[in-house]
Structures are given as structure tokens and as C-alpha cells.
Amino acid sequence: MKRHGRIFETRFEVRDDGGPLIVGHGAVFNSESVDLGGWREVIAPGAFKRTLRNNPDVLSFFNHNPSQVLGRTSAKTLTVAEDLEGLAYQVRPPDTQWARDLVVSMERGDIRGSSFMFEVVQMRWDKSEADGADIRTVLEAKLYELGPVTFPAYPAADSSVRSLLADLTEAAGFDFRGLASVMARARDGVGLTPADRTLVEASIGILRQLPAPAPSDPPQAGHSLDILSRELELLSA
């Protein structure tokens, strides 16, 4: 299974409890994510209940950086639990210069995001009644890491490819958003519908007609397009 990272803008509180204590939420329940590239996601209450019951060794990093460890559950410097709002955590940062600087930045409001790394165990795909978008509800997940991050927004999945294909969306009918949803559902083991297969085959045809990336395009664009083409070929097999 693939590990995923999600970022939320959540309320932070730095308490003075015999030293700084960072309190926040790594995930918010029943709240739709922003567009993840053709689909959105919801974390269901109880999604982390089983993994927390098994006492995993969860870590807390700043900006997902393993060299900046804020705490971990096995060392009892991090506690994680579900509450009514979401995945709550408290972490006591180390008495190091970078951690003291981080606390100052959080108290100033410069650091506003919270993120968690997880693996989907059980999910459900639905259509939004409001706009027909694909919605993945995470019913159960394994938790690996959570903590504060600088940017309170979902990371762009493949911005270089999207920018490269933006002009083709209308001109050539390349439905990147719809295709991203098909690929996400396929990775979760959801079978392709006839409409999905039609979209995949049409997308392969468009990609085959694309010229090579221009020198002004992002340097990773060509590599990303090659990977996208290979994934589509596997889906169509």
C-alpha cells in the first residue's frame, strides 16, 4: 500500500507545561479536502482507532523532516488520540536550538499547518451530490507520522504535468482531472468502468501526439509524462 501525506490548516496552541508543549490536530474528520487532482478526500471518524489501539511507534517531525524529530510515542514525548474534531496530538519538543526557534515561529503565527502520513487500509468511493466529483472516504488508516508544517495547503501531486497539459484540456479534450480520479481509484483496487477505460484510451492517444517538452518547461515534465504514459498503458492492459 502507498503512504499518503495530507496537510491541514489547524489551530495550534503552544502551552507552557514545564516547558513548551505543542498541541494540535493532524487530521480533521468529516471535512472534504481541496481538489487532489480530480477527486477529494474525507477522513471518517474512527479511521485511526485500530492503529492507535495497537500502540504504533508514531513519530512527529517538523515539515516531514526526519532530522527534525519533535517526539515519538515510544519515548512518551508524543501522545496521539482521536477526539470529536479529529486526530489530536501533543508533542513536547526537544530543548534544541532549532526546536526553540520553531516554537517561537509557531507562537508568532508563522507556522500554521499540520500534516500526517498514513496508509489507507479501508476506503469507500462515492460521487458528490453537489458537483458529481469523486470522493474517497478513508474508513481505516495506519498512522506513521504527524506534526507541524510550514505550508497549510495540499501539495500539488504533479504540477509540472498539469501545467504542461493545461493548454490541451480544451483544445484536445484531455480531461486531466477525470483521469487523476480514475488513477486514484485504480490504485485503491476499484475496478474501471467502461467510461473509465474510454477515458484512459483517449488520454493515451493524446499523450502519443504530444511534442517533446520545450526547454522552458519544468525539467521534470518529460519524466513525469513518461511515467504517466506507462501507468495508463498498464491500466488499459
Domain around 124: 3-149
Same domain for 79 and 144, yes or no, is yes
**161 vs 158: which has the higher pLDDT:** 161
DSSP string, the chain: --EEEEEEE---EEEESSSEEEEEEEEETT-----SSSEEEEEPTTTTHHHHHT----EEEETTEEEEEEEEGGGTSEEEEE-SSEEEEEE---SSHHHHHHHHHHHHT---EEEEEEEEEEEEEEE-TTT--EEEEEEEEEEEEEEEES--SPPPSSHHHHHHHTTHHHHT---HHHHHHHHHHHHTTPPPPHHHHHHHHHHHHHHHTPPPPPTTS-TTHHHHHHHHHHHHHHHH-
Confidence tier at 170 by pLDDT (50, 70, 90): low
Of 149, 176, 192, which marks where a domain is finished? 149
Model confidence over 16-72: pLDDT tens digits?
777 888 888 888 888 887 777 678 888 999 999 998 998 789 999 998 888 999 999
Q: Residue 7 domain-assigned?
A: yes
180 and 208 part of one domain:
yes
Does any domain span residue 224? Answer: yes
Q: What is the pLDDT of residue 166?
A: 54
Which pTM value belongs to this model?
0.64
Count of structural domains within the chain:
2
Model confidence at 146: pLDDT above 60? yes
* Model pLDDT, residue 159: 43
Q: Decide which of 149, 176, 199 is a domain's last residue.
A: 149
Mean pLDDT of 86-90: 89
